[in-house]
């Protein structure tokens, strides 16, 4: 089977290469099916784009083929066929770069095609066979040691030498991107307000563990050791991040607050004012990256009477853990991930806790999610099948957003059956369930709106059996000194009120740090334009403004979960490196901004 699959794939690649070599943008079209998608990560478009259908593909090729000059398409390993679809990995080259791709053939024609840039020619990472010697053979007068070089760099970068890139935000996103830029020799400073790398994890509520399994969560270059728990506790990941910044030799400015940034048109550089350990420093990078998470500021609804509350009230992001609340009455407003985790933790610590659910939530039991949704790509089984993290990331990336929901709907159909008992008991307890507007479940919700779900690691059982009390189909009408009044008129006594009410849009950071005008020019970040709740159209087919050129010159947005940060930091780093080296980087069809913040 794989033999004939490889023959088919090799033939397709050969014809594809020949068609592209003609220089005629429409020559390759007969190799694509009527329904077809070509997703490119930087290698053809200097953009993250999905061309949908023949005309879009032809337009892209017409604009880009002369520059890109693609060649050397080579099947990588053996192709395979399942259910009528032949999948084939391949490598290729362009005038500027080397790349890797994945094509899915149906009836001999391409259905989906992924092309991604791996490395820029002449600017390859110095790894593996390219690694440096370290000890120079032959001995040179006056050379600096590694330690002296590092000390020199730390003393000068940001002061007498200016970085090419400043990354605002030193969480997992900024750190992973920083590591990639370091390897590419792009001088970078990462700005982090907390004293230690990893603090953004350490500062969260005590019981927090990653909701995604370990195979999905690696940082670039350095996998977690193979005895790491499936769901990593927050402090352990915090310590890992701290270690990683050191091992990767990042210029990580902790205890540093970014105060203001503006683009100096004349110098073609940013002017970034930061306070480092209480001292003002102005950085002058060419590129500015915001890596402040998927979300903006913590969002706390304005509720009448909040100022009269005599107990404690705080947003979920400030919740330290349940220890202090034994025997106390707690109301948690919200019913997504943090709300569930915090309710469970409070219950464990002996609090009397009520969850207030205003709108429906998608519950995805963790074991089912791992088996049904992630298992093929991110699991021990996947590793045993030769699906490395790199490969898994590319497979994930190869599914066009336009049809991604069709891949996911059957998974959640199966989940509904498998976990029918839990779902029935939750509904009986009054819990409002959903599976996304089109039944496509967790990941599509995450991509479209970044919220609306709980990956169940146990709290749903507590909701179902009443250990965590539930008030659903209501909100909080009014806050009283020792209680809250719900919209149905009922009253809940409360010593503590936790707002698990999510976060604002991530470009609120831009409004404050740069200007509201710049934030509005960048426009909405995240979301695909699916025209579902919180993801207004028009359809864009990629995550808005993420990891690719934004409408504002030299300003970039990095973020996402550990998986996305790991994978997309590769393409963002290559874009930044190419610009530093002065390579031509014509961006094909930069996405317009359709929405303000």
Q: What does the binding site for a copy of itself look like in residue numbers (CB under 8 A)?
A: 125-129, 131-143, 145-148, 150, 183, 206-207, 209-210, 214, 221-222, 225-233, 235-236, 239-240, 243, 246-248, 344, 347-350, 366-367, 380, 457-459, 461-462
Give the Cα separation of 531 and 533 in Å (integer). Answer: 7
Q: Are 377 and 567 in contact (CB under 8 A)?
A: no
Q: Which is nearer to a copy of itself, 111 or 252 (CB)?
A: 252
Of the pair 274, 353, the CB lying nearest a copy of itself is at: 353
Q: Structure tokens of 293?
A: 């998470």
Indicate the burial class of 482 (C-beta count within 10 angstroms; 0-12, 13-18, 19 or more).
Answer: middle
Q: Give 510-530 as a DSSP string.
A: HHHHT-HHHHHHH---S----
The nearer residue to a copy of itself, 123 or 228, going by C-beta atoms, is 228
**Minimal distance, residue 232 CB to a copy of itself, in Å:** 6
Question: Rounded to the nearest whole angstrom, what is the least distance from the CB of residue 248 to a copy of itself in the complex?
Answer: 8
Q: Which two tokens stand for residue 93?
A: 């080259």
Cα–Cα dist 289/514, whole Å: 12
Helix (DSSP H) and strand (DSSP E) numbers for the chain: 17, 24
> Taking the complex as a whole, how short is the minimal distance between the CB of residue 421 and a copy of itself, in angstroms?
15
DSSP 50-61: EEESHHHHHHHH
- Provide, rounded to whole angstroms, the least separation between the CB of residue 225 and a copy of itself: 5
Least distance in angstroms from the C-beta of 350 to a copy of itself:
7
Alpha helices in 449-498 (DSSP H): 459-464
* Cβ at position 224, least distance to a copy of itself in Å: 9
Question: Tokens representing 205?
Answer: 């509520």
Of 168 and 463, which has the nearer Cβ to a copy of itself? 463
| Strand 97-106 with 85-93, pairing | antiparallel
Residues 6 or more apart from 196 whose CB is under 8 A from it?
A: 202, 238, 242, 254
Nearer Cβ to a copy of itself (83/226): 226
Residue 321 or residue 475: which is nearer to a copy of itself going by CB?
Answer: 321
Task: State which residue, 104 or 183, has the beta carbon closest to a copy of itself.
Answer: 183
Q: Which is nearer to a copy of itself, 164 or 212 (CB)?
A: 212
- Nearest distance, CB of residue 523 and a copy of itself, angstroms: 37
Distance of CA 501 to the CA centre of its chain: 20
Instruction: State the virtual CA torsion across 162, 164, 167, 168 in degrees, nearest 10.
Output: 50
Residue 173 or 213 with smaller CB distance to a copy of itself: 213
Which residue's CB is nearer to a copy of itself, number 127 or number 417?
127
For the CB of residue 537, give the shortest distance to a copy of itself in the complex, in Å. Answer: 37
- DSSP symbols for 192-225: -SSSSTTHHHHTS-TT-B-SS-GGG-PPSS-PPP
Cβ nearer to a copy of itself, comparing 195 with 481: 195
Between 231 and 588, name the residue whose CB sits nearer to a copy of itself: 231
Beta-carbon contacts of 128 under 8 Å, excluding residues fewer than 6 positions away, are none
Helix, strand and coil percent figures for the chain, each rounded to 5: 35, 25, 40
Report residue 118: phi and psi, to 5°: -100, -50
Smallest separation (angstroms) from a copy of itself to the CB of 347: 7
Q: How far is the CB of 72 from a copy of itself (least distance, A)?
A: 20
Q: Starting from the edge strand earliest in sequence, which strands make up the sheet with 352-357, in order?
A: 312-315, 496-499, 329-333, 352-357, 469-472
- State in angstroms the smallest separation of the CB of 251 from a copy of itself: 15
94: helix, coil or strand?
coil
330: left (phi over 0), alpha (psi -120 to 50) or beta: beta
Nearest distance in Å: CB 568, a copy of itself: 20
CB-nearer residue toward a copy of itself: 58 or 344: 344
Contact 454, 363 (CB under 8 A): yes
**CB 64, min distance to a copy of itself, A:** 31
- Which residues, 6+ apart, have CB-to-CB distance to 381 below 8 Å? 375
The span from the CA of 207 to the CA of 290, in Å, is 28
């Amino acid at each position: 089977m794989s033999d004939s699959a490889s023959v088919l794939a090799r033939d397709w690649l050969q014809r594809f290469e020949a068609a592209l070599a003609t220089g005629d943008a429409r020559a390759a079209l007969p190799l694509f099916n009527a329904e077809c998608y070509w997703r490119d990560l930087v290698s053809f478009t200097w953009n993250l784009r999905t061309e949908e259908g023949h005309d879009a593909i032809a337009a892209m090729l017409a604009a880009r083929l002369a520059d890109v000059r693609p060649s050397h398409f080579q099947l990588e390993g053996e192709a395979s066929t399942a259910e009528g679809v032949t999948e084939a990995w391949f490598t290729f080259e362009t005038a500027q770069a080397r790349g890797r791709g994945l094509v899915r053939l149906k009836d001999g024609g391409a259905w989906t095609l992924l092309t991604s840039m791996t490395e820029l020619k002449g600017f390859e990472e110095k790894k593996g066979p390219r690694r440096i010697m370290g000890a120079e053979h032959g001995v040179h007068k006056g050379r600096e040691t590694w330690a002296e070089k590092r000390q020199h760099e730390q003393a000068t970068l940001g002061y007498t030498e200016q970085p090419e890139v400043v990354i605002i935000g030193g969480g997992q996103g900024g750190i992973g991107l920083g590591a990639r830029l370091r390897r590419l020799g792009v001088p970078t400073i990462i700005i982090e307000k907390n004293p230690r790398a990893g603090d953004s994890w350490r500062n969260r509520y005590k019981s927090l563990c990653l909701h995604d399994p370990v195979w999905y969560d690696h940082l670039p270059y350095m996998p977690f050791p193979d005895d790491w728990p499936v769901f990593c506790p927050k402090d352990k990941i915090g310590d890992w991040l701290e270690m990683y910044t050191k091992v990767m030799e990042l210029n990580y400015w902790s205890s540093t607050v970014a105060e203001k940034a503006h683009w100096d048109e004349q110098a073609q550089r940013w002017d970034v004012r930061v306070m480092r350990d209480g001292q003002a420093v102005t950085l002058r990078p060419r590129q500015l990256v915001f890596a402040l998470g998927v979300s903006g500021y913590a969002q706390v609804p304005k509720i009448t009477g909040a100022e009269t509350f005599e107990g404690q009230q705080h947003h979920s992001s400030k919740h330290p853990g349940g220890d202090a609340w034994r025997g106390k009455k707690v109301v948690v407003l919200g019913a997504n991930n943090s709300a569930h985790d915090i309710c469970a933790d409070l219950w464990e610590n002996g609090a009397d806790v009520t969850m207030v659910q205003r709108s429906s939530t998608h519950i995805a039991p963790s074991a089912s999610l791992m088996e049904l949704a992630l298992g093929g790509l991110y699991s021990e089984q996947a590793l045993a099948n030769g699906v490395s993290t790199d490969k898994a990331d590319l497979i994930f990336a190869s599914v066009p957003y336009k049809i991604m929901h069709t891949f996911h709907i059957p998974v959640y159909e199966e989940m509904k059956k498998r976990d029918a008992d839990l779902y029935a008991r939750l509904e009986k307890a009054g819990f409002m369930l959903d599976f996304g507007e089109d039944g496509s479940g967790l990941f599509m919700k995450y991509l479209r709106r970044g919220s609306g779900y709980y990956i169940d690691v146990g709290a749903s059982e507590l909701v179902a059996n009443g250990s965590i009390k539930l008030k659903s189909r209501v909100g909080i009408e009014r806050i009283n000194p020792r209680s809250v009044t719900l919209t149905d008129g009922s009253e809940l006594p409360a010593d503590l009120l936790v707002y698990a009410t999510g976060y604002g849009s991530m470009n609120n950071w831009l409004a404050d740090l740069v200007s509201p005008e710049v934030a509005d020019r960048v426009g909405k970040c995240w979301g695909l334009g699916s025209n579902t709740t919180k993801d207004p159209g028009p359809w864009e087919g990629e995550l808005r403004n993420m990891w690719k050129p934004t409408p504002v010159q030299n300003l970039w947005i990095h973020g996402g979960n550990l998986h996305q940060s790991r994978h997309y930091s590769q393409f963002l780093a290559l874009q930044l490196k190419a610009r530093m080296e002065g390579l031509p980087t014509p961006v094909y069809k930069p996405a317009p901004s359709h929405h303000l913040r």
